[in-house]
Chains A and B, each alone.
Chain A
Amino acid sequence: MSKFKKKASTSQDIPTASLPDIIFMLLFFFMVTTVLRESDILVEQKIPAAKELNKLERKSLVSYIYIGKPKKSDMGAEPRIQINDRLVQPTDIQKFVNEEKDKLTEVERDQITMALKIDREVKMGIVVDVQQELKEVNARKILYSATKRIDL
């Protein structure tokens, strides 16, 4: 009987003491490489890819304009322009640019760059309208945001 009853009563515990360390490492990675989002993006943003990318020189002199189809269908199916956190019409762009310029000093006003983050499925019509308004306000430095394309 002793042959059957004696069971080796061992149990294996996977040592999980290092789990917090792994998670903290991931956490530090994300804390270092990401930026807190300033505003919710209300439009679809599938940014196209390109090879010839310029870096932004000074982040403080950049204002963002987002163009795309609204994510929620109750705001329409046509591509819209988003500035800060509202959807606007092309005519509102001039006011926005002047507001942004007022936040800067005199010297920096001409160096303001408009970063256009445009969804790849947008047609040129609305892009041209935005560019026209930017020309009117003399905000001529623009950057078409793009991700890096790697040709294999």
Chain B
Amino acid sequence: MAKSKNRKVDIPSASLADIAFLLLIFFLVTTTIASDKGIALLLPPKPDPNQPPPDITKNQRNIFKVNVNSSDRILVEDEPLQDISKIREMVKDFVLNFGKQDQENQDLINSLSAVQRNFVLSQGRKPDSSDSPSDAVVSYKTDRGTSYEIYLGILDEIMGAYDEIYGERVGLTAEEFRNLDKSDPAQNDVYSRAREGIPRNVSIAEPTKIGE
């Protein structure tokens, strides 16, 4: 009678791994890793057909021209450029230039960070570059045949230049500036302080019809 009443019974769990594999394959096939990040832009409003087009009264020196043609050749201020990464520094130098000397500009210079102020006082007073950051406009024009990758790359550099200016002004990197949460009053305050007096004047021009 010494039967083995103490025999343990195991639930066979060999199929557990199969079930788990099936579920895993289902999720791998039907889901994507959502990447909802990108370069934000506000398009200009629709031109009102009743109003005449606004006069371009800006002085040429206040406009920083970037043109890309259908063969993806880049012209910055009417000079060819090979290296896209130089555009960032050029835009920063252009925006932070104070060609006109007046009290308003002096107040603006005083509101910049120390590093930026040193830059402006040493080489940011070129009379042939922009009058002040509020007058400075970056005009970006492409052709219909330009590749989207180049367009985005250059737009990335232009936006990066502005973000770096704003960030340096309040002691943050461009990325930290972008990640400021505007619903938090303290961060919103930092955000407005960084942008004050320097509007992000990026004008995306209507492309010419060549090269479709």
Distance of B144 from chain A, by nearest CB (Å): 4
Distance of A48 from chain B, by nearest CB (Å): 5
Q: Is the interface of A mostly helix, strand, loop or mixed?
A: mixed
Q: Is the interface of B mostly helix, strand, loop or mixed?
A: mixed
Interface residues of A (CB under 8 A from B): 16-17, 19-20, 23-24, 26-27, 30-31, 33-37, 47-48, 50-56, 59, 62, 113, 115-116, 118-125, 127-128, 131, 134-136, 138, 140-148
Q: Say yes or no: B31 contacts A30, CB within 8 Å.
A: yes
Q: Which residues of B contact A56 (CB under 8 A)?
A: 36-37
Q: Which residues of B contact A48 (CB under 8 A)?
A: 148-149, 152-153
Q: Which residues of A contact B146 (CB under 8 A)?
A: 123-124
A59 to B174, CA, bound (A): 23
Q: Say yes or no: A123 contacts B38, CB within 8 Å.
A: no
Q: Does B52 contact A (CB under 8 A)?
A: no
Q: Which residue of B lies closest to A122 (CB)?
A: B148
Q: Which residues of A contact B163 (CB under 8 A)?
A: 52
Q: Which residue of B lies closest to A47 (CB)?
A: B35
Known: A26-B24, A27-B24, A52-B174. A124 touches B151 (CB 8 A): yes
Distance of A3 from chain B, by nearest CB (Å): 37
Contact partner of A36 (CB less than 8 A), chosen from B16, B23, B31, is: B31
